[in-house]
Amino acid sequence: MEIKKALDIAKKDLRACYYKEGIVAGISHFDDYWARDAFYASLGALEIKDYDIVKKNLLLFIKHQKENGQIPLRYGYNALAIFFKLIGLKMQFKKYAIYRTDNIISVPTDQNSLFVIVFHEYVKKTKDKEFAKKHFSAVNNAILWNLSMCENLLIKENYYANWADTHKKRGKVLYTNVLHCKALESFSELCRLLGKTEYKKYLNLHKEVNQRINKLFWKKDYYIDWIGKKKHDYFSTDGNVLAIVFGIANQKQAQKIESFIDKHQINKVPSLTNYPKYPNKMINPVLRLLGMKDYQNGMSWQWLGCMNIISKHKSGQTKQAKELKKKISKIIVKYNGVYEVFERSGKPVNRRFYKSEQPFAWGAGLFVYAYYMINNS
């Protein structure tokens, strides 16, 4: 069966990214311990009971957490080393924790939320309360750091600060705040699990952030992209799909979002990052010079498609969810691997200055996660 074969390939690719200290993003040009890649991949690792690697990964980022609670963007090499890898040069560089975006402009904004979410999922799956008690302060500090980045309970960020780090978004970004909202819920549940009375406080904060997102970002058929000096009403797939997965969108909203995705063929290959395309002025000029302005603005991303499998299922579109799972399975089997990013033709990106990472832990982990989320529900 094609879906089962795709699952086996995804498991193999995910496990290929298990390194000594945790989960690396890939084994070619992204062989660093990227926080967001590793934490998304961890969701799949937990489903196949690879608990030890998830624990190692959590411990790695706890080890390098700042005193103010900030989790690093990644542990690995500097931007110059990554550039050399992209053009095929192998050089020796020292590893260290990196806390700012590679252009030094901004502080990343999604890694703390993902850390909290995965920490809670790990404890929930393993029932390892001793681990939770021992490292509770790290999780508490991560949440406090998030709140320190907020204006009226919503995280405010600078350019290039979340996973879509080629986009010039400044202000309150949907994707970042959907994760922030989920992290507050995860932390509340962790507190309750450990018998801490703070769970009520953070549950109330979660509800307030949820309400604020729905009040400020919802626009008739979907959540808008970000709010700066004005509202920017692009459709961002990441925040909209995750809003469904995390229960921020109600059933009616979820169905409208999925209808919008289907109408504009956003998950065709399997998933665009946004609709419509952003203007060139919004894209990192270095990417434009390299002919990669469509990296997160026209190319398709498998991890978004995998999360859309879950969001379709949660919105009541079970048949469409299964069809999307089959579509992504065919891509994985056809190319015998989980690739990072695709051309609109359906082929993995293979250009002069960039080749799609494979194996790609983030995409592999989320395919595994989506498979079990749908099959076990």
| Tens digit of pLDDT at every position of the chain (377 positions) | 899 999 999 999 999 999 999 999 999 888 899 999 999 999 999 999 999 999 999 999 999 999 999 999 999 876 666 666 655 556 566 788 999 987 677 999 999 999 999 999 999 999 999 999 999 999 999 999 999 999 999 999 999 999 999 999 999 999 999 999 999 999 999 999 999 999 999 999 999 999 999 999 999 999 999 999 999 999 999 999 999 999 999 999 999 999 999 999 999 888 999 999 999 999 999 889 889 999 999 999 999 999 999 999 999 999 999 999 999 999 999 999 999 999 989 999 999 889 999 999 999 999 999 999 988 65
Q: Which residue from 370, 360, 367, 372 is spatially nearest to 37, judged by alpha carbons? A: 360
The H-assigned helical ranges of the chain are 2-16, 35-47, 51-63, 79-86, 111-126, 129-134, 136-148, 174-193, 199-217, 237-245, 251-263, 285-289, 302-314, 318-335, 361-375
Containing structural domain, residue 206 = 2-375
The CATH number for 250's domain is 1.50.10.10
**Residue where the block lists tokens 């990554």:** 82
Q: Are 73 and 79 in contact (CB under 8 A)?
A: no
E strand or H helix at 322, and its extent? helix 318-335
Cβ neighbours of 265 (radius 10 Å): 11
Measured between alpha carbons, how far is 346 from 352 in angstroms, rounded to an integer? 18
Q: Which residue from 268, 322, 260 is spatially nearest to 299, judged by alpha carbons? A: 268
Q: Number of structural domains, the chain?
A: 1
Q: Are 8 and 376 in contact (CB under 8 A)?
A: no
